[in-house]
Structure 1
Amino acid sequence: MPTSSLQPVRLGALAAATTLLVACGGGGDAPPQLAAATGASFTGACAGLQTALASLPNTQITLAETIAEGTLKQGGNAVAEHCRVTGKMHERTSPVDGATYAIGFEMRLPKAWNGRFLHQGNGGTDGAVLTAAGALGGGPVTGALHQGFAVLSSDAGHSGGTAAFGIDPQARLDYGYQAVAKLTPMAKEAIKLAYGKGPDRSYFAGCSNGGRHGMVAATRYYADYDGVLAGAPGYNLPKAAVANLAGARLYQTVATTPVTNQIDLATAVTDTERQLLANRVVAKCDALDGATDGMVQDVAACQASFKLADDVPTCSGARDGSCLSSAQKSVLSQIFSGPTTSKGDRIYASFPYDGGFGGGRAGVPTGGSPVGSGVALWEFFISISRDAEATGLIFGAPPQNLATFNPLSFALTTDIDALNASMFATSGLYSESAMSFMTPPKPTQMHGLRNRGGKIMVYHGVSDAIFSVNDTETWFKGVQTDTGYDFARFYRVPGMGHCSGGPATDQFDMLTPLVNWVEKGQAPAAITASARGAGNAGGVNSDLPAGWAADRSRPLCPYPQVARYKGTGSLELASSFSCQ
């Protein structure tokens, strides 16, 4: 159970809010329309905030400074002058591992503020305070800070790039959900002290684990947030991690060398072989949306049409990149279907066949260590490193012995059934299971957010190799059944990998449509997305096919609609397609 002293008060406030909404008929009526935010200016000296914010409870401000206009840029755009405030909350020494823990954070407060607060959820296992810029979709050309939001970023209660914090029970809970509970009231009070008023509207945005944080905010802390933007939300993160370990175990069976590192595992399906599969998917499914343009828009029709056994050549001899062996096909079929336990129960979710499976590379630079990117990174590198660490040290109860823990050995030898059971288990000091502290409670029941006028928008790359777009689709269908459609939207991004990359139009701004929906009642429809070709200000996407225009655009359609070619017009322009 939560241990924060803030929690009883917050839960009481949520209960009161729920009672009021029910009394007002909020359950079945149209949700209320929230008013638009109004801005304010900060006219003091940024350095003075170190003293002004000293009264924040359980908080130590470590720095307050002015950041001049243009010091921080996003997509070539200069971010206006603002204050940067750093600090930490609830510093303590763990009685379990003796380490020092605190919730580290950074706030960026614009001199010209738009009256809005954005809590930036970060990815991976957290552990670092990233720049509080509020980045959006792919290689963004804008962000929340650039748009005038006050933005908060945090390390979620621990520092360092490893999963060793999982030994401390409280650090687990902070990472899962309690850091958000502690940071939110602090950030809002800091904003009030800085501007003389609190935020009129509050938002949460992040991708990957940051998307999971967003889902948690939308369910546990709905009274605190008016809008949530969740990208590739790993709301079943422990399941996905265990499934990725099971996938590594399958890949190990077809690797051409004994697996001692990531590159050895990547010999299971080489970059060339992954691209072969991706090309065959595109060849089979490209025209299903009415345009032969190298993109698979009709995801559902593709799954019905493409057959791995028949549509990819089977090697009759040695593997040479022009075919897949029967053993490789068997492994890939199990991975796309979703790895299972020994009893045949699917651990996590299935994955769709898409044109982005060839994205990224695995290799060893001259004189360097093994590196990977894109799909290769998640399939062969993360599975036997970060996911092994997280599964063994954070998601298991009790955790593995840190002194003797070997991620590679753990990933490739530990019984999958035992790992699958451990994420649901509790043990001694670890009184809350990983599937409790990491996941949003009853994720499809979002009446609290919906009934107060809040909105949620979710986007997910179809070629995401770690968190499945199919899992997000299942969530969204459940939301429609359990809560409704008038407050939620889901967007698939064809070809896109995990949060960005892949042969995709992965550059877009969903925050502006979310704000317009929350504050103006303008329900979002298609969102225009662009490719990041040569010269793109947000960074070039190396996965783009050579034949695409550098600025190719497409509409991202609200599920279940599909972007279909109108029959005329340039294949490089979103205006030639419509959501149907």
Structure 2
Amino acid sequence: MSSRAQPQARGTVCFAGGLGTVVALGLLWAGPAAAQSEATIALQACESFQGLVVSPATIGLPTQGATVLVAERVAAQPRTVAENGEIILPLPAHCRLAGEIASIDEQAPEIQFNINLPLAWNGRAMQSGGGGLGGTVNTAPGQKASGRWDPQPFTEAYPLTRGWVTFGGDEGHRRGDISFIYNDEALRNWGGDALKKIHDVALPLIERAYGQSPDYVYFNGESAGGKEALYVAQRHAADYDGIMAVSPVLSWTYIHIADNYIRSRLVDNWLDADDIGLIADATRDACDADDGLADGILARYLDCDMNPYDLVCPGGETGAGCLSTGQVRTLNAIREPWVMGVPLAYGVNRFAGFGITGDEDGAENQYSFYMVGTEPPAHPMPAGRGFQPGLGAIMNFGAVWVRHVMAQDETFEPYDFYPPAYADRIQYISGLFDATNPDLSPLRARGGKLMILAHSADNAVSTGMIAEYYRSVVAEMGEAAADDVLRLYVGPGGAHNGTGVAQADTLSLLVDWVEQGDTPPVEIPIYDIDPTTHETRRGMVACAYPRYAHYDGSGDPDQPSSFSCRDRTDPLAYDSSAR
């Protein structure tokens, strides 16, 4: 990372006092004893933010303004161990601001936000995206106040510790409550409007705190937050210098309708744990060694030609050690591209499918959690919210999406959803939510940079979908222009939410690209780090798309130095008619 990556204390820090008073405070320029005194004074000034109002005129989308409801000193936190055994690194003393952004429609929930202000600021601010269906203030205590987000290695000091301001919000609704979907302003906030509103509230508060605006503003998000990262890159490019999108669910509308389609196939042709193990074993047998090493990881993530019909039982019925014809069709519905017959925003007219991972039976967060679950889908689905315990998480997301967002009817049966009958609604929602615009020229024109990290064994987000987006950018802008603003890395063997070989210091790469103009390399080291011990269990390389990681034939297979990135012939070469 460049020298700017470490906290650089500034001469003064300015905290607002009330609505008009500004108190200038020296910070961390004296020796240790004086520095402690001055830091304490700065924290005392934190409380003067209480009740501060941000005018609606300051916010780029319609609101009734924002109010700081909490302004509190947060003491330094030592290294701790969470209930799940994960090591939590120390955090510095800082000032925490929390508040609400009032909606125009009083029936729409307010947007909650949280800002963490370090005492020694390095001039950078990071906005964090959410996850799942949102509804959690993602930089609040107990969430991502530190600014850490996968894939940052567990052993690396958190952004807040390095001197970054961190901020984020809850997308304008509370987790577990579905009723907000029936309010258009709340739906638009969830779709992406809340991101702009939170940004426009945070920036003037940061300026009040330090007497100047950030030198650089970044956005970082994973999964749904990764979609939000691409959303702001495409729709609010002027607000950000660097953007990191991890496992982005970018074609949000298509993937959730596809999830519901897969769910309908699972009703009659479910796959249990034995079936999943059979599929995973056959996939690894067919393709594992294609990357030079039979290690359980398919680094050639788009090239596996395993034929699932080889697993069909004699007669096509279910049996021990084989699948029925219907189950294979379900597997193909999961893996293969799907067209619903309704074109979406920016010309997208298909879902790439979830592809072949070879890690379907992974111990954590794989098919049993995200995809097929531990029990078949209910049919009919009970009225109401629609979440079914035991069903795969993304199957639940698809059913909720179809019932509440598309049909707008809490009694609607998702099994009966026929997309062409809802074409107008689908296209309207796609325009609100989807982050598939291939034109990144506004971001490029301001010198901004976008970095995407995908994982080859992600069974919750389609790596093929992400690759198709990358190819659409190249087709739209040309290779040289796309290369100037965008990088896509694919790590071998990593799963959703950072499980497996999925930890890489992409933040340093992004900062150096944005601030120093350092061109990101073709390959970057990526690791499997035990969060409970910080032991590095394995290292490989993530490659700039479309290359893949290949074992060199000698050397320790657990070290990145034993792998190199090889070119590949892309079997999914971009075709604009296939978007």
Normalised-by-shorter TM-score class: 0.7 to 0.9
Q: Look up the equivalent residue of 1:435 and give its one-letter code.
A: S
Cα distance between partner residues in 1 of 2:360 and 2:282: 11
Please give the per-residue CA displacement for 1:104-155, whole angstroms capped at 9, x wherever unaligned.
0111111122211111000122112123332232584144323321111201
Match of 1:349 among 324, 348, 352: 352
Instruction: Tell me: CA distance 1:452–1:493, structure 2 relative to 1, closer, same or farther (3 Å).
Output: same
Instruction: Tell me: CA distance 1:372–1:290, structure 2 relative to 1, closer, same or farther (3 Å).
Output: closer
Match of 1:486 among 479, 484, 487: 484
Contact 2:79 2:88 (8 Å CA) reproduced: no
Q: Are 2:117 and 1:116 aligned?
A: no
Cα distance between partner residues in 1 of 2:266 and 2:553: 42
Cα root mean square deviation, aligned: 3.1
Partner of 1:572: 558
Match of 2:426 among 408, 423, 431: 423
3-state SS in 2 of match to 1:112: coil
3-state SS in 1 of match to 2:167: strand
Cα distance between partner residues in 2 of 1:435 and 1:361: 31
Instruction: Tell me: CA distance 1:480–1:341, structure 2 relative to 1, closer, same or farther (3 Å).
Output: closer
Partner of 2:307: 307
With normalisation by structure 2, the TM-score equals 0.77
Deviation of the 1:342 alpha carbon: 7.8
Partner of 1:436: 431
Instruction: Tell me: CA distance 1:103–1:342, structure 2 relative to 1, closer, same or farther (3 Å).
Output: closer
Cα distance between partner residues in 2 of 1:169 and 1:575: 52
Please give the per-residue CA displacement for 1:175-226, whole angstroms capped at 9, x wherever unaligned.
1122122221221111111112211001011011111111111011111100
Deviation of the 1:163 alpha carbon: 2.8
Cα distance between partner residues in 2 of 1:416 and 1:392: 12
Please give the per-residue CA displacement for 1:494-519, whole angstroms capped at 9, x wherever unaligned.
33333333xx3022221111111111
Residues 178-189 of structure 1 aligned to structure 2 (within 5 Å): 178-189=193-204
Residues 317-356 of structure 1 aligned to structure 2 (within 5 Å): 319=318, 322-341=321-340, 347-356=350-359
Q: Are 2:175 and 1:133 aligned?
A: no
Please give the per-residue CA displacement for 1:501-540, whole angstroms capped at 9, x wherever unaligned.
3xx30222211111111111112222222114484449xx
Partner of 2:110: 102
Partner of 2:494: 496
Partner of 1:391: 402
Deviation of the 1:413 alpha carbon: 3.0
Q: Are 2:212 and 1:197 aligned?
A: yes
Q: Look up the equivalent residue of 1:279 and give its one-letter code.
A: D
Contact 1:295 1:494 (8 Å CA) reproduced: yes
Residues 108-117 or 349-358, more deviating: 349-358
Deviation of the 1:40 alpha carbon: 4.0
Contact 1:315 1:326 (8 Å CA) reproduced: no
3-state SS in 1 of match to 2:557: coil
Instruction: Considering Cα pairs closer than 8 Å and 6+ residues apart, tell me whether 1 or 2 has the greater RCO.
Output: 1
Please give the per-residue CA displacement for 1:374-405, whole angstroms capped at 9, x wherever unaligned.
444599433553332233323x2xx524xxx1
Deviation of the 1:294 alpha carbon: 1.7
3-state SS in 1 of match to 2:313: coil
Q: Are 2:66 and 1:59 aligned?
A: yes
Deviation of the 1:241 alpha carbon: 0.6
Match of 1:461 among 455, 463, 488: 455
Match of 1:86 among 90, 95, 98: 98
- Structure 2 residue runs of 5 or longer lacking an equivalent are 14-38, 56-64, 81-85, 378-390, 567-579
Contact 2:501 2:527 (8 Å CA) reproduced: yes
Match of 2:544 among 530, 534, 558: 558
Instruction: Tell me: CA distance 1:343–1:129, structure 2 relative to 1, closer, same or farther (3 Å).
Output: closer
Deviation of the 1:248 alpha carbon: 0.6
Cα distance between partner residues in 1 of 2:280 and 2:258: 22
Instruction: Tell me: CA distance 1:325–1:90, structure 2 relative to 1, closer, same or farther (3 Å).
Output: same
Partner of 1:528: 525
Partner of 2:168: 153
Residues 5-84 of structure 1 aligned to structure 2 (within 5 Å): 39-40=8-9, 42=13, 43=39, 44-46=41-43, 48-52=45-49, 54-57=52-55, 58-70=65-77, 75-84=87-96
Q: Look up the equivalent residue of 1:563 and give its one-letter code.
A: A
Instruction: Tell me: CA distance 1:551–1:361, structure 2 relative to 1, closer, same or farther (3 Å).
Output: closer
Cα distance between partner residues in 2 of 1:556 and 1:290: 15
Deviation of the 1:343 alpha carbon: 10
Q: Look up the equivalent residue of 1:558 and give its one-letter code.
A: A
Cα distance between partner residues in 2 of 1:554 and 1:383: 28
Residues 404-415 of structure 1 aligned to structure 2 (within 5 Å): 405-406=410-411, 410-415=413-418
Q: Look up the equivalent residue of 2:123 and give its one-letter code.
A: G
Cα distance between partner residues in 2 of 1:292 and 1:372: 24
Partner of 1:427: none
Partner of 1:475: 469
Contact 1:222 1:448 (8 Å CA) reproduced: yes
Q: Look up the equivalent residue of 1:106 and give its one-letter code.
A: N
Instruction: Tell me: CA distance 1:362–1:566, structure 2 relative to 1, closer, same or farther (3 Å).
Output: closer
Cα distance between partner residues in 1 of 2:316 and 2:472: 47
Match of 2:243 among 228, 235, 247: 228
Contact 2:291 2:299 (8 Å CA) reproduced: yes
Q: Are 2:408 and 1:400 aligned?
A: yes
Partner of 2:61: none
Residues 442-451 or 36-45, more deviating: 36-45
Contact 1:121 1:204 (8 Å CA) reproduced: yes
Residues 103-112 or 53-62, more deviating: 53-62
Contact 2:87 2:531 (8 Å CA) reproduced: no
Deviation of the 1:319 alpha carbon: 4.3
- Structure 1 residue runs of 5 or longer lacking an equivalent are 1-34, 255-267, 364-370, 425-432, 539-549
Q: Are 2:224 and 1:209 aligned?
A: yes
Cα distance between partner residues in 1 of 2:350 and 2:73: 49
With normalisation by structure 1, the TM-score equals 0.77
Q: Look up the equivalent residue of 2:336 and give its one-letter code.
A: S
Partner of 1:512: 508
Deviation of the 1:566 alpha carbon: 1.5
Cα distance between partner residues in 1 of 2:285 and 2:312: 13
Contact 2:287 2:306 (8 Å CA) reproduced: yes
Partner of 2:362: 359
Instruction: Tell me: CA distance 1:534–1:512, structure 2 relative to 1, closer, same or farther (3 Å).
Output: closer
Deviation of the 1:72 alpha carbon: 7.5
Q: Look up the equivalent residue of 1:439 and give its one-letter code.
A: D
Partner of 1:270: 272
Residues 340-349 or 554-563, more deviating: 340-349
Cα distance between partner residues in 1 of 2:349 and 2:474: 24
Match of 2:443 among 412, 425, 449: 449
Q: Look up the equivalent residue of 1:78 and give its one-letter code.
A: P
Contact 1:554 1:573 (8 Å CA) reproduced: yes
Contact 1:361 1:377 (8 Å CA) reproduced: no
Instruction: Tell me: CA distance 1:338–1:524, structure 2 relative to 1, closer, same or farther (3 Å).
Output: same
Instruction: Tell me: CA distance 1:416–1:496, structure 2 relative to 1, closer, same or farther (3 Å).
Output: farther
Match of 1:373 among 369, 376, 384: 369
Q: Look up the equivalent residue of 1:322 and give its one-letter code.
A: G
Deviation of the 1:470 alpha carbon: 0.8
Deviation of the 1:169 alpha carbon: 0.7
Residues 353-362 or 78-87, more deviating: 353-362
Deviation of the 1:567 alpha carbon: 1.6
